[in-house]
Every structure is written in C-alpha cells, then in structure tokens.
Amino acid sequence: MEARIGFYDRARQIFDLTLAQQALEWDQEVMMPAQGADQRAHQLAALATVVHEKLTDPAYGGLIDAFEASRDLDERARADVREARRARERAVRVPGRLVAERTEACARAQAAWLEARPRNDFAAFRPHLERVMDLTRELAEAQGMPSPYDALLDEYEPGMTEARLRPLFDDLRRRLVPLLERIRGASRRPDPAPLARCFPVQDQEVFCRRLVTDMGFDLDAGRFDVSAHPFTTGTHRDVRLTTRYREDWLPCSVFGTIHEGGHGLYEQGLDARFFRDPSGGACSAGLHESQSRLWENLVGRSLPFWSHYYPVLQATFPGVLDEVPLASFHGAVNVVEPSLIRVEADETTYNLHILLRFELESDLIARRITVKDLPELWRIRMEQQLGIAPPDDRSGVMQDIHWAVGLVGYFPTYALGNLYAAQFMERMREELRDLDERLSRGELGVVRTWLRERIHVHGRVWPAQELCERATGAPLSVEPLMRHLEAKAHTFYGI
Amino acid sequence: MEARIGFYDRARQIFDLTLAQQALEWDQEVMMPAQGADQRAHQLAALATVVHEKLTDPAYGGLIDAFEASRDLDERARADVREARRARERAVRVPGRLVAERTEACARAQAAWLEARPRNDFAAFRPHLERVMDLTRELAEAQGMPSPYDALLDEYEPGMTEARLRPLFDDLRRRLVPLLERIRGASRRPDPAPLARCFPVQDQEVFCRRLVTDMGFDLDAGRFDVSAHPFTTGTHRDVRLTTRYREDWLPCSVFGTIHEGGHGLYEQGLDARFFRDPSGGACSAGLHESQSRLWENLVGRSLPFWSHYYPVLQATFPGVLDEVPLASFHGAVNVVEPSLIRVEADETTYNLHILLRFELESDLIARRITVKDLPELWRIRMEQQLGIAPPDDRSGVMQDIHWAVGLVGYFPTYALGNLYAAQFMERMREELRDLDERLSRGELGVVRTWLRERIHVHGRVWPAQELCERATGAPLSVEPLMRHLEAKAHTFYGI
C-alpha cells in the first residue's frame, strides 16, 4: 500500500507539472502579450529542468521498483509501471548538458527559420538546422536503441520502429502514386470554387462552435479560441482547441475545427479515474492524429455528414451557397490536387507529403544524406511523387517548423494517424450498420461513443498497435485507407 | 564569479517558477473552464511543493552564504542576499506538514465560505475559520518572532511590526472618526446619482482602455481583461490587469481600472536589469497598494484629472451626462458615505474598514478573542466607528474572502497603501509645481515618470519604510492622508 502511494504520488506530481507546462504554452500561443516571450521562455525552461530532475531522481526509480515488486498488480498498474519506467529511462539516458544544448540550438534554429523562411534564405537557416540535426542524432544515439531513428520514433509512437514503418509506407507509396496519376488524368473533377466565396468570420465562428458542440466536445470542460497555428492542448476537464478563420476559404476553419475537435474528444474521453496516471493519457501521437483525421476526413468530408449540415451551413451564410447543390458542395470538399504545402494538402496527397519527410529525416539521422542535400532532394522527390516541384525553398524544405524545433520522427505519426483512422472507421461501419443513416440525421454522438469505448478510455494501457488490433481485430494495414481513397476517387473522379 | 552565477541561477529559477504559478492563477480566474478547477489545484500544489523544495534545499543556503562571502558586493547584491535569505528562512522555519495541512484547511474553508456566505450561515463557516486561524497562528509562531502577528505582517510588509503599526492606526482612527461624524452632519453634500445611469458596457471598455493607455500602461507588454474580482498579476513585460463592468454603476469599472492600472505600472516600471532578482520585485504589498490608490484616488478623483477626462467621458456616452456639469460629476465621485462593504467604500471610510479588520485579526492571533466572538464584535465596532451595523453576517464578518484563504496580516497593507500614496502625492506636488495644470491637460505621464524614478525602479533594495523616507524625505505619517481627506471634506461638504 505504501509502495503504491509513494509511486503514484510522485508520478502524478510529474504529470501535474507537465500539464502546467502545457497550460503556459497554450497561454503563450493564445493570450500572452508579444513582449512576454522572453520571460515565458525562462519559466518554461525552469519547469523543464524541474520535470527532468523529478524524472531522473534516483528516489523515483526506487519508488517504481518498489511498486513493481508489490504483489497482485493488475493490468493498469503494470502499464503504469511500464510507462513510468519508460519516461524515466528516456530522461536518464540523456545527459543534462545535451538537453540544455539542444534546447538552446532549437530556440536559435526556430528564430532563424522565422527569419529565413519569408526571405527564402535556406543558406542562412542551414547551419542552424545542421546543429539541431547533429544534436538530435546525439540524443537519439544516447537512447542506445538498435537504430537512432527508432529512438526518435519511439518518443512519439512508442513501440514503432523504422523496420515496421518502412513496409507500411512502401505499400502506401506504391498504391498512392498510381492512384494520384489516374486522378490527374481523369476526365471529370469536382469544382472547389464554392469554398472560396465570402464567408464572414463571425458566422464561421457560430457554425464551428455548433460543430464542436454537436461532436460532443464539452465547452464547460474546455475552450475554443483562435491562434495562428491551430492546436489542441490540455486534458480531461480542461481541454483547449484553437482554430483560425479565412474569410475567403471556408475549409480552413471548418475542417480545422473538426480536426481539433477530434483531438479534444480524445482528451475529454480519457478514463477520469486514471488520467493523471502514467498509462492514463493518450496512447501515442499517431493514435491522437487518428482521432482528428477520422473526424475531419472520414466523418467531416462524407455525404451523410453534409446531408445534415449543408442546410445548416447554407442558412448560416444566407445567399452565399443558395444555388450550390449538396452534391457539388460535397465534391468541392473532396477535391484531390497535388500542391506544395502539406498543411493545405487534400486527404490523398497529404500522405505523400509525409512519406517525403520520413525518407529525408530518416536518411539524415542515418547520415545517408546531409542537410546541404535537402533542398535539391525535396524538389526531385516532389516532382517524382506528386508531379509538382516547389519554385523556392520557402514552399519546399522550409515550409514546416518541425525540424527547426527538433521534432524529428514526428511526421510519420501524421500518416499513421490516417491509416489508423481508416481502419477504425471501417470497423465502426461494420459494427454499426446504420451509421450513415444516423450521421445523416446529425447524430454525431454515435461516432464519439464508439471511439470513446474502443480507444479513449484505454489510455496507453497497451501500445498503439495492440490497441488498434483490439479495436479492429486486425493489425494496422494500408488497405482500409486505400479502399477509402479509391472509393472517393471513383465517386468524384469516375475512376 | 562562480558564487555569483550559482546564486543568481538558483534564485532566478525560483522566481521563474513563482511567475509560472502566477500565470496559472491568472488563467484560472480569467480563462480556465469551470470544470478545470480540480486539475489546476493539482498543478498549483505541485508547483508550490517544488518552490518550497527549492527554497529549503540546503544547497541553496550554501549558495547564498557563498555569494554573501564574496568581496565587494554592491548595494543591489547585498539586498539580493538579504531578500533571498529572508524568503529561504521563512520557508525553512515552517514544517512541511504544517504547510500541507494549512493549504488543505484553506481550500476547505474557502469552499465553506463560498457556500455559507450567500446562506448567511456563520455557524457552518465557523469551524473552518477556527481551523485556518489555529494553523495560521501555528505558522506565525514557527517564525519565532517576538509576536506571532508580526510574523504574518512581515510576509506582506517586510519590516513592519504591530508596535509600529498600532500608533499609526490609532492616530488614523482618532482623526477619521470625528471627521466622518462632521461629514455626516454636514448641511451640503454631493449627489452620486449621475453615476448610476445606464452606461453601455462596450463603451465603458473603450473609455477604460483609453485610461490605462494614457496612464502609460503598455498593452504590448500586458493584457486588460474581465474577471469577477479585479486583480493585477505578472511583471515586467507580461503584466495583466482585469476589471469588471456594471452597466448601472460607472465607478466600478472606471476606478477599478485606474486602480489596477496603478498596480500594473509598478510592475512594468521595475528595473529591467533586475526584475528576476530577489531584490528586483515590488517592495511590499503596502507599497503596491500605494501605487494603485494614488492613481485611483489622488489622481483619478481629482478635479484636474476630470477637467481633461470628463468631456471625453461625456462624448463616450452621448446624451447620458450632457446636463451634468463637471463640478457635479466631480462631487459624485467624491461622495463620503458609511457603508457595509469594504470594497465599495469611499476613500475616507475605507480606512475604518481596515482598522476594524486589523484589530480583530491581531486579537485573534494573540488569543485575546475567539472566532466565535467575531460576528458580535464586528457589529459593535461598525456601529461605534462607522455609525452603521450590518443586518447579517454576509454583509458583516463574512464579506471578505481573505481570512478563509489564510490571508491574515494582509488587510493592514491596504491602509498603509493609502498612507504612502498621500505622502508620495504631497511630495510630488511640492516638486512639480505645475502638476495640476499638466494633469488638466491630460498629461498623466508626469505622474508615471515621478513614481517610476522614485519608487518603481528601486524594487525592494530598501524596506518600504526606508523607500518612503528616501522618496519623500520623511517617515510615514498619517498627516498627508488626513490633510487630503480634510481638504476634500471642505470642498464637498463645506466643513
């Protein structure tokens, strides 16, 4: 009993401190005055140091050992021990000197990226990126895994390895590239023009609030704000979503909101009894992304969904979409078109953007290529796989902030999210034969309930891949996503 | 050099963690969804524990000693050592068990207060208050000062003692009670009715934003929001003010905003080089209150101020105050009228509310009275000193949250603030002969600059009373405040 209390007290204290970090980061993006950045950086650094001290404290190691040695641990308790030990060992293996150096290098690289990107000046950004990549490789090597890139993947998608990922992604590429070629050669195609009319921001906000509320997101246990880059943070009874509005491009807020709403439902859906425990949080970055993508693409771009919401949307913007029939609108939100910028990509081409980044970053970490090679490789592979090449580096290798801030091994989780999402949706559809009928009546709760019971409440008791198998009865595969994308290509492009 | 770095690194880390606490508390009041309270309590408790660990860490004690022993410390460095040691020793003297017990007792008492106050149920609140007072007395006794109440005072007003405070407050009472009696018997009196018209909230907000901006508060280094109980938090380049609006009572937002603006200017006016150091922050709670009260009452209720702003106010609310002349409006914001609720009290009677609380809490801590005696003593002394008695405990002893949350020894700083403010203003007026003329042209910067140079930039290099002497050439006295209040009584009540 004493071992139990000692272990959970310490583990939950660490959790509470990381939630405090998250709250300060949310504030920084959404509320903080511009000039507060320097002070906030000090606060976050102080908190990061404290969390690292708490994780690496030998006494905490002793508490984990003592609890593990107690009798009759149930599955939850064993998972708590596993996750606590995992987080602690990852921290212990990294020398404090390296953490500090890398934090500083990332801060500098981020500032350099912010300056260099609009000026299209990769040469100015390059030394900073080199430094981040070198320190990230060193960090990865310190984990002592068979491959350094696996150590990075493992941070965001525990248990995932390059050896498992590569065949999945190879499959995906082999299927996506020809599909995209056929789509590009199709004789009929939907018209996105209706989405680019004038949609007053305040009316968009009303519609988006209705969407997250209907999805089942509890605004008494969360917030819904605006930020430059939409994100979701917090957990359980304090979950915060952001979105952004473009008056001349409706999908920006609508699909952004549904996406973040999916993340938010995951956090609100965790088991209330365990959310502060090491195995009580969301399972992995890929699983998290599966929730947002399932809602955004598999629900939010479906005909049943818009059968219910299109009349609501039309009424929200009187006169704007009156003469556009439902079928045309549904086509408009399902256009497939190779483009340069990942965050604006459609459901089909999005995965090719991720594959490109995965190849480049795994090659960089394995020293098969260097930072210097990136711009040229980016152009060549974009041309090969998407059929278009960026005219400059700002819409090429410099478009994402991830590498500048040291997020290496993270991009794959976006594609994994798409794969998980499609597999979950296929299974849900098998179990709920009247799913489309209910969606077309606006009953979004049916999706939320299924996801809550199959995914959310289980936290990270099992690794993501095992959770997927338990929820769907099959290991993760590209088939459900490809079936989904091919069916859409048939519907909208007649192929 | 090494001793210097070691000392400041640790001291600033502790400071940064307390700023993080403040940011989370701001969020809790202003942004957090209602259901997030429980999670936030855990986060704040975890941070409080960490700060206590850092303060009491023997290694920190060693760093303070080592830095103190280095040669050629200047005045700032010596003040940093003094303040660091003071904070550390206060923490070391309190057993961890007591901190935890008291934190929990205060949380329970606050909840009990929130429930009991609207029901006017002092009996239900009493055991909780007794527990808080017992633990607070124990906490005070642990400091080992000659009097336990001094130990509480010292937390908020370093160096202040009951022995110094009592003669000041006795003076104040001896002068205020007869002044109030004369005011109550006066044959003429200003009419507050113009302040109770309909003032649309959005226009109040425009006016209030203009006021804080004109005062010199930098909104790029701060925020201005709404909360149930107005407050100011943060420091330097991230200072956040709140206010509240009542459509039917203009002074609520206008004087609330000027008040919080005064606090905000203090924080923004600290010396940028030192604000993270132990002696770089605001000097004391009383000094802080002097800044808010000086702006609110000595500037914000003056004729020169309204000579400039009254036409702006009239234009902000077209038609509402058209026929009310400046002199009447100026009288309306200077009405003196005994009332039951401290936070709604005028400049003159406010101090009597504070004296009452000081007497009761110092008697409680010294065991001269018990919690059981409070309601009756409250009624008797209100009747004696203000001439009115509360009909119930909710507008009597239960009106303030302070005691429930363990703030004992804090109330006196409100009255000290008024005394300091009047003394500063008298000195400013002596030095700046054209002050009124400049205020009547709306040049508020002249006040800000004087306060910044005389008060703000010095942080807590000297104790508050020494800072006051340096700024005004005289020790703190009740004379300037009484001269100010008596002059106003003459102007508005003809006495």
- Nearest by CB to B236, from A13, A39, A46: name it: A39
Give A-chain residues touching B49 at CB under 8 angstroms.
13
Mean pLDDT for the stretch of residues A217-232? 96
In chain A, how many H helices and how many E strands?
A: 20, 3
Interior CA angle at B4 toward B1 and B7, to 5°?
Answer: 150
Helix (H) or strand (E) holding B237: none
Phi, psi of B396 (to 5 degrees): -115, -115
Q: Inform me whether the C-beta atom of residue A20 falls under 8 Å from chain B C-beta atoms.
A: yes
- Do B38 and A237 count as a contact with CB atoms less than 8 A apart? yes
Q: What confidence category does residue B414 fall into, taking pLDDT thresholds of 50, 70 and 90? A: very high
The Cβ of residue B158 has, within 10 Å, a number of other Cβ atoms equal to 20
Collect contacts of B160-166 with beta carbons under 8 A, ≥24 apart.
Answer: B160/B284, B160/B286, B160/B412, B160/B416, B160/B464, B160/B465, B162/B362, B165/B358, B165/B412, B165/B416
**Mean of per-residue pLDDT scores for chain A:** 97
Mean pLDDT for the stretch of residues A2-13? 96
Position A191 pLDDT exceeds 90: yes
Which chain B residue is nearest to residue A276, measuring alpha carbons?
Answer: B39
- Do B219 and A33 count as a contact with CB atoms less than 8 A apart? yes
Mean pLDDT for the stretch of residues A331-335? 98
pLDDT per residue as tens digits for the range B474-490: 999 999 999 999 999 99
- Do A50 and B50 count as a contact with CB atoms less than 8 A apart? yes
Mean pLDDT for the stretch of residues B74-81? 98
pLDDT per residue as tens digits for the range A142-188: 999 989 999 999 999 999 999 999 999 999 999 999 999 999 999 99
Q: Inform me whether the C-beta atom of residue B236 falls under 8 Å from chain A C-beta atoms.
A: yes
Q: How far is CA A252 from CA A135, A234, A244, A345, A376, in A?
A: 35, 23, 7, 11, 30
- Do A238 and B40 count as a contact with CB atoms less than 8 A apart? yes
Contacts of A408 (CB under 8 A, 6+ apart): A133, A136, A152, A361, A364, A365, A402
Chain A interface test: which of B8, B21, B47, B50 (most A C-beta within 10 Å):
B50
Q: What's the confidence (pLDDT) of residue A34?
A: 87
pLDDT per residue as tens digits for the range B336-359: 999 999 999 999 999 999 999 999
Which chain B residue is nearest to residue A32, measuring alpha carbons?
Answer: B238
Q: What's the confidence (pLDDT) of residue B245?
A: 98
- Do B237 and A16 count as a contact with CB atoms less than 8 A apart? no
- Nearest by CB to A33, from B24, B50, B221: name it: B221
**Is B260 among the residues known to form the active site?**
yes
User: Is there a contact between B136 and B365 (Cβ–Cβ < 8 Å)?
Assistant: yes
- Nearest by CB to B47, from A20, A235, A276: name it: A20
Mean pLDDT for the stretch of residues A345-349? 97
Q: What confidence category does residue A100 fall into, taking pLDDT thresholds of 50, 70 and 90? A: confident
Q: What's the confidence (pLDDT) of residue B34?
A: 87
- Minimal Cα–Cα distance from B21 to chain A, Å? 9
Position B96 pLDDT exceeds 90: no
User: Is there a contact between B88 and B55 (Cβ–Cβ < 8 Å)?
Assistant: yes
Cβ contacts from A onto B, under 8 A:
106
Which chain A residue is nearest to residue B225, measuring alpha carbons?
Answer: A31
Give A-chain residues touching B27 at CB under 8 angstroms.
23, 27, 31
Phi, psi of A242 (to 5 degrees): -130, 160
Give B-chain residues touching A38 at CB under 8 angstroms.
237
Per cent of chain B over pLDDT 70 is: 100
Q: How far is CA A332 from CA A191, A192, A243, in A?
A: 5, 4, 21
Give A-chain residues touching B42 at CB under 8 angstroms.
12, 16, 19, 276
- Do B34 and A220 count as a contact with CB atoms less than 8 A apart? yes
Q: Inform me whether the C-beta atom of residue A495 falls under 8 Å from chain B C-beta atoms.
A: no
Phi, psi of B63 (to 5 degrees): -65, -40
Q: What's the confidence (pLDDT) of residue B395?
A: 96
The Cβ of residue A158 has, within 10 Å, a number of other Cβ atoms equal to 20
Mean pLDDT for the stretch of residues A36-61? 95
Please provide the DSSP assignment of A181-211 as one string.
HHHHT-S-----GGGGS---HHHHHHHHHHH
Q: Inform me whether the C-beta atom of residue A123 falls under 8 Å from chain B C-beta atoms.
A: no
Q: What's the confidence (pLDDT) of residue B462?
A: 97
- Do B218 and A35 count as a contact with CB atoms less than 8 A apart? yes
Q: Inform me whether the C-beta atom of residue B100 falls under 8 Å from chain A C-beta atoms.
A: no
Rounded distance, CA A286 to CA A33, Å?
Answer: 33
- Do B238 and A33 count as a contact with CB atoms less than 8 A apart? yes
- Do A33 and B235 count as a contact with CB atoms less than 8 A apart? no
Q: Inform me whether the C-beta atom of residue B45 falls under 8 Å from chain A C-beta atoms.
A: yes
Q: Inform me whether the C-beta atom of residue A23 falls under 8 Å from chain B C-beta atoms.
A: yes
Q: Which member of B83, B157, B162, B260 is catalytic?
A: B260
Q: Inform me whether the C-beta atom of residue B49 falls under 8 Å from chain A C-beta atoms.
A: yes
Q: Inform me whether the C-beta atom of residue A237 falls under 8 Å from chain B C-beta atoms.
A: yes
The Cβ of residue A4 has, within 10 Å, a number of other Cβ atoms equal to 15
- Do A24 and B19 count as a contact with CB atoms less than 8 A apart? no
Q: What confidence category does residue A105 fall into, taking pLDDT thresholds of 50, 70 and 90? A: very high
- Do B223 and A33 count as a contact with CB atoms less than 8 A apart? yes
Q: Inform me whether the C-beta atom of residue B31 falls under 8 Å from chain A C-beta atoms.
A: yes
**Tokens, residue A479:** 């088939």
Give A-chain residues touching B36 at CB under 8 angstroms.
221, 234, 237-238
- Do B221 and A24 count as a contact with CB atoms less than 8 A apart? no
pLDDT per residue as tens digits for the range A376-434: 999 999 999 999 999 999 999 999 999 999 999 999 999 999 999 999 999 999 999 99
Active site residues of A: 260
Interior CA angle at B288 toward B287 and B292, to 5°?
Answer: 115
Closest CA to A138 of A86, A89, A88, A101: A101
- Considering only residues B103 and A121, tell me which one the structure prediction assigns the higher pLDDT: A121
- Do A17 and B276 count as a contact with CB atoms less than 8 A apart? no
Closest CA to B241 of B252, B251, B233, B249: B233
Position A270 pLDDT exceeds 90: yes
Cα B172 versus chain centre, distance: 18
User: Is there a contact between A132 and A102 (Cβ–Cβ < 8 Å)?
Assistant: yes
